[in-house]
Amino acid sequence: MSFYLAIIGTKDNAVYDLEFGTYRQGGDGTSKFSADMKQLCPFIVHSSLDIVEEMQWNTNVMHLKVIDKFYNYLISAYMTAGNMKFLLLHETRADDVIRQFFVDLYDLYVKTLMSPFYAVDQTITSPVFDQRVKMLAKKYL
Amino acid sequence: MLQNRSSYPPQQSAIAPSQASSSEKSIPTSLTPSAIRGSITTPRKVTIYDRNLNRRAPELSLASFAFLFSELVQYSQKNVKGIQEMETKLSDYGYHVGQRVLELTVIREIKNAKRETRVLGLLQFINTGIWKSVFGKPADALEKSKDQEDEYMIIDNDPIVNKYISVPKEMSQLNCAAFQAGIVEAVMDGCQFPARVTAHSVPTDLFPLKTVFLVKLDPVVVERERYMR
């Protein structure tokens, strides 16, 4: 199973993205997307932003669960209080696990934000952040 | 020992090198392997990601805050043409704080965290949640303007930032709580409720520092609110 994660800023700008695979079922943590799919991932995820925008005023929960489908792929969304959007493209439904993943990712994001050298909507380039996200992915997905 | 050092408290790693060096002085030739390893690996950086967001720091001393804030005020007094500009500057500093305070306050209560989608809910959250986490007490009142539909007022009888600030007569218009107004503005903006927030002094006999934070919502927000009703 493969995943594509994107953090989208308040102005719908990409802040961070990562492609990864599962460690479960003998996976080695690398994604198995085909070459075409690799290019499509950002498009699919960004196109679901419209749906996020529609949903965000009707509910006050943060985890919006699965919001969109694209052939066999599902897109889950999580929205923080400050309107950062976490979007995950995945293949099977697992709301609870994904929620935990998002909550921990939120924690990491807020830690990034606590740095006085980071401004909202800036792209996250920290290698430590990257490494931590990969650890989360290994732990939950 | 190594694992210990990689965990958060920085004091530990600060003590460790001195221990290593003191053992170095006493027995310079026979260093234990762990001491050598320790002295090599101590520079391991504690990143912001190693820290715990929920660590409840003890309350800060008001004196040191007042000192820092007075420096901030003096700094923003430089190179400005008028009081308006100075307040804008102070508000900008507050804005940076507010952006962070919003997410931090919410994540500290992740158990019942929710996004605010209505104006009143958000203002109440600012009134109690944000005020409590930043100033240690809820704001004193939240009022809706009688004649303007898009204006709300958050009232603080004794704002902490103004506690030790005495405004000279020729600058009587200035209210340094513009910093606080900046925090509120950032929270409103962050939740997608763009608004302009300004601080106004309304001294009374009982509360000479009483400050009203006037929140003027953007027309977009008013329209959305009407639509959602």
pTM greater than 0.95: no
From the list B49, B53, B116, which residue is nearest A128 (CB)?
Answer: B49
Specify the number of domains making up chain B: 2
For A31-92, the DSSP string reads: ----HHHHHHHHHHHHHTHHHHHHHTTT---SEEEEEEEETTEEEEEEE-TT--EEEEEESS
Q: Minimal Cα–Cα distance from A23 to chain B, Å?
A: 23
Instruction: Work out whether strand B141-144 and strand A2-8 pair parallel, antiparallel, or are unpaired.
Output: unpaired
Q: What is the CATH number of the domain that holds B118?
A: 3.30.1380.20
Q: Confidence class of residue B43 from pLDDT cuts 50, 70 and 90?
A: low
pLDDT tens, position by position, A77-92: 999 999 999 999 999 9
Q: What is the pLDDT of residue A89?
A: 94
Beta-bridge partners for A17: A6
* B8 and B98 co-located in one domain: no
Q: What is the CATH number of the domain that holds A66?
A: 3.30.450.70
Instruction: For residue B153, give every residue at least 6 positions away whose Cβ sits within 8 Å of its Cβ, in sequence order, or none.
Output: B141, B142, B143, B144, B145, B212, B213, B214, B215
From the list B53, B114, B115, which residue is nearest A107 (CB)?
Answer: B53
Q: What is the pLDDT of residue B27?
A: 42
Cα three-residue angle B147-B150-B154, rounded to 5 degrees = 90
Overall average pLDDT of the A53-66 stretch: 89
Structure tokens at A120: 């909202």
* B34 and B138 co-located in one domain: no
Q: Among candidates A102, A84, A110, which has minimal Cα distance to B190? A: A84
Query: Chain B window 49-68: which residues touch A at a Cβ cutoff of 8 Å?
Result: 49, 51, 53
Least confident of A2-6, B1-5, B72-76, B90-94: B1-5
User: A25 — alpha (psi -120 to 50), left (phi > 0) or beta?
Assistant: left
Domain limits at A52? 2-140
pLDDT at B99 over 70: yes
Evaluate whether residue B55 is within a structural domain: no
Q: What is the pLDDT of residue B71?
A: 93
Least confident of A118-127, B36-45, B170-179: B36-45
Specify the number of domains making up chain A: 1
Q: Among candidates A19, A59, A72, which has minimal Cα distance to A41? A: A19
Task: Write down the ipTM of this complex.
Answer: 0.89
Q: Minimal Cα–Cα distance from A117 to chain B, Å?
A: 11
* B102 and B191 co-located in one domain: yes
pLDDT tens, position by position, B140-151: 999 998 888 899
pLDDT at A23 over 90: no
Domain limits at B42? 2-50
* B46 and B84 co-located in one domain: no
